[in-house]
Amino acid sequence: DAGITQSPRHKVTETGTPVTLRCHQTENHRYMYWYRQDPGHGLRLIHYSYGVKDTDKGEVSDGYSVSRSKTEDFLLTLESATSSQTSVYFCAIGREHGYTFGSGTRLTVV
């Protein structure tokens, strides 16, 4: 299995605080993705990266930013967390024929 880890696994934060989620891969894969999963909505793409310092927006990018300074790390930042960002966040690597996902980060904004 591909080595992809997310941290933290769980986080509770207060409205208005900044939060950074980390995705780390050991597969040297060029493409990385951040999705959020919510009941009734399924998995929705937030941002993705196609190389170091190369990123693009997804369907639900408002309120989120990303950075990729190294191939192995893809960071997702909520600049000022809101309750609507309470969700489970998944990182993935791969191309059009299949992704490998991390185990997710459950984020609660109170």
Interface mask (CB under 8 A) for other proteins, residues 69-88, using x and -? --------------------
Of positions 36, 48, 66, 107, contacts other proteins by CB under 8 A: 48
Q: How far apart are CA 60 and CA 40, in angstroms?
A: 15
Of positions 62, 83, 97, 110, contacts other proteins by CB under 8 A: 97
CB of 95 to other proteins, least distance (A): 7
CB atoms within 10 A of CB 13: 16
Of positions 14, 28, 42, 110, contacts other proteins by CB under 8 A: 42
Considering the rule CB under 8 A, would residue 96 count as an interface residue with other proteins? yes
String of DSSP letters for 37-106: EETTTEEEEEEEEEETTEEEE-TT-TTEEEEEEETTEEEEEESS--GGG-EEEEEEEEETTEEEE---EE
Residues making contact with other proteins (CB under 8 A): 33, 35, 40-45, 48, 58, 90, 92, 95-104
